[in-house]
Amino acid sequence: MERFAVLVPVLPVVSAVLILLCLRRHRRWAARVSVGSLMLALAGAAALLVHYLITGRAAVVDAHGVFGSLWLDPLSLVLWVFVSGISLIVHIYSVRYMIEEPGYSRFFALLDLMTAVILFMVSAANLLTLVVAWFLVGVILYFLLGHDHERPAAGRYAFWTQITYRFGDLPLWLAALILVHCYHTLSLPVIFARIQSLPTRAFWGMPVTEVTGFLLALAAFARSAQFPLHVWLPYTMDGPTPVSALMHAGIVNAGGFLFNRFAPVFEHAGWSLHWAFAVGLVTAVTGSGLMLMQNDVKRSLGYSTMGQMGFMVMECGLGAFPLAVFHLIAHGFFKASLFLGSGDVIGDARAHDDVPPDPIYTSVVERQPAKPSRLPWLVAASLTVLVPVLVLSLSHFFVAEHLFYEQGVVVLLFFGWVTGAQALFAAHKMSKQNPWRLMIGILASFVVVVIGYTLISHYFSQFLYPNEHESLMLYQAASIHRVSFDALVLVLAAIFVGGWTLTFFADSLELGRNLGGRWRALYLGFYALLSRELYVADVYERVSETLLQWSRRLNVWLRWC
Amino acid sequence: MSMGWILAAALFLPLFPLSLAFNRLVASLPPGLAQALAVLALPQCGLGLLRLAPPVSALPVAVRHWGMAWAVLSAFLYAFRTLSAREIGVWTRLLLSSGLALAWLGWWNGTPLPVLEVLVFGWTWPAAIMLWLVGALVRRLGGAYAGLQGGIVRVMPRMAASLTLAVLALAATPVFPAFFATWRTFSPLLINWVPFLLPLLFFWGWASARLFQDLLFGRYRGETVPDLSRGSALLMNLLLLASLILNFYPNGVG
Q: Is A61:A203 a contact under the CB 8 Å cutoff?
A: no
Q: For residue range A101-144, what is the model confidence (pLDDT) as tens digits?
A: 888 999 999 999 999 999 999 999 989 999 999 999 999 999 99
Q: What pLDDT score was predicted for residue A220?
A: 97
Choosing among B18, B23, B84, which should be mutated to test the A contact, i.e. which has the most A CBs within 10 A?
B84
**Does residue B68 register a pLDDT over 70?**
yes
3-state class percentages of chain B: helix first, strand second, coil last, to nearest 5:
75, 0, 25
Tell whether the model's pLDDT for residue A431 goes beyond 60.
Answer: no
Burial of A297 by CB count in 10 Å (0-12 exposed, 13-18 middle, 19+ buried)?
middle
Interface contact B201-A167, CB threshold 8 A: no
Domain boundaries, chain B: 2-248
Which positions 183-242 of B are in contact with A (Cβ < 8 Å)? 183, 186-187, 191, 194-195, 198-199, 201-202, 205-206, 209-210, 212-213, 216-219
CB A291 within 8 A of CB A307: yes
Interface of B with A in 117-176 (CB under 8 A): 150-151, 153-154, 168, 173-175
Query: B24, B206, B219, B248: best mutation site toward chain A, by most A Cβ within 10 Å?
Result: B206
Identify which of A561, A555, A552, A559 has the alpha carbon closest to the alpha carbon of residue B27. Answer: A561
Q: Inform me whether the pLDDT recorded for A292 exceeds 90.
A: no
What confidence tens digit (pLDDT) does each residue in A394-410 have? Answer: 776 776 666 666 777 77
pLDDT for the residue A445: 76
- pLDDT band at residue A500, thresholds of 50, 70 and 90? confident
Report the mean per-residue pLDDT for chain B: 90
**What ipTM was assigned to the predicted interfaces of this complex?**
0.93
Identify the pLDDT of residue B149.
Answer: 77
- The CB density around residue B94, as the number of other CB atoms within 10 Å, is 28
Per-residue pLDDT for A352 more than 80?
no
Mean pLDDT of A316-334: 88
The pLDDT value given to residue A134: 95
What burial class does residue A150 get, using C-beta atoms within 10 Å of its C-beta: 0-12 exposed, 13-18 middle, 19+ buried? Answer: middle
By C-alpha distance, which of A296, A331, A295, A338 is closest to A315? A331
Contact B194 A174 (CB under 8 A): yes
Among candidates A135, A154, A166 on the partner chain, residue whose Cβ is nearest the Cβ of B206: A166
d(CA A282, CA A164): 19
Q: Please tell me whether residue A532 adopts helix, strand or coil conformation.
A: coil
pLDDT, tens digit (0-9, with 9 covering 90-100), for A221-280: 999 999 999 998 888 777 888 998 888 888 899 999 999 999 999 999 999 999 999 999
With a cut of 90, say whether residue A287 has pLDDT above it: yes
How far the first Cα of chain B sits from its last, in Å, is: 27
B92-103 confidence digits (pLDDT tens): 999 999 999 999
